[in-house]
Amino acid sequence: MTPEVARRSRSAATLMWTCIALFAIRVVGQFEVFTLAPAWLPEMQAWYSGLLPYYLLLPAQIAMLVIMSIVASNRRIRSGKFARAHPRAAGALRMFALVYFTVMSVRLGVNLVDNGAEFWREGAIPVAFHWVLALFLLVAGRAPSEHREQHEVTDDIPYGDVPPIPQPLDGRLGLREQTRYGHAG
């Protein structure tokens, strides 16, 4: 692995684990507000959009954290090899992330128009963390860099196929058999 690929892999891992940590803080914060309602945290209405009952939302969020951790631990995803091996899936993941981000932006805009200065109490926290999830998906489906490693070119050659080898003396000076690939003499 070249230093550039290693650096990009570390950057992707850092960004993915940061998204996981932020989402975990949101899950813990929302649970704390639900159970203890501390004065220093916004009330439940600010954390919760109400699309799913909380008794279903909490296990779904925990499952998402587990899946995100598995994905972030996968070296192929961090290095971009997944995107190179499955360009359609990675492209679909990136497109979904961008649509997801856009829909949440529209949701925040509608919330801002409807609620004015109090928009943050009416679902701005869920929108911010949906953006975190969209960023995670975008990084997971990121395309590899344009600069490929020298030895990775062989990844494009299926097993058993040998690229053509030029034979400059082929057919000259009676050396045909000695210069042919795979024949010792």
Residue 166 lies in a domain: no
Q: Is residue 22 part of a domain?
A: yes
Return the pLDDT at 60. Answer: 96
Neighbours of 111 (CB within 10 A): 20
CA 100 and chain centroid, separation: 14
User: Does a structural domain hold residue 73?
Assistant: yes
Q: How many CB atoms lie within 10 A of CB 29?
A: 16
The closest alpha carbon to 101, from 134, 124, 126, 140, belongs to: 134
Q: Which two tokens stand for residue 63?
A: 């499952």
64-82 pLDDT, tens digit each: 999 999 999 998 888 888 8
Give the tens place of pLDDT for each residue, 140-155: 998 765 444 444 444 5
Q: 124-140 and 87-115 are packed helices; what angle lies between their axes, rounded to 10 degrees?
A: 170
The confidence score (pLDDT) of residue 184 equals: 53
* pTM beyond cutoff 0.85: no
Q: Is residue 183 part of a domain?
A: no
Residue 75 lies in a domain: yes
pLDDT digits 0-9 by tens, 127-142 = 999 999 999 999 999 8
Instruction: Give CA–CA dist 185/176, Å, rounded.
Output: 10
Query: Residue type at 176?
Result: R
pLDDT in tens, the chain (185 residues): 688 878 888 999 999 999 999 999 999 999 999 999 999 999 998 888 778 899 999 999 999 999 999 999 998 888 888 888 899 999 999 999 999 999 999 999 999 999 888 888 888 999 999 999 999 999 999 876 544 444 444 455 555 555 565 555 555 555 555 544 555 55
169 occurs within a structural domain? no
Enclosing domain of residue 107: 3-145
Residue 35 located in a structural domain: yes
Residue 74 lies in a domain: yes
Looking at the structure of the chain, the number of domains it has is 1
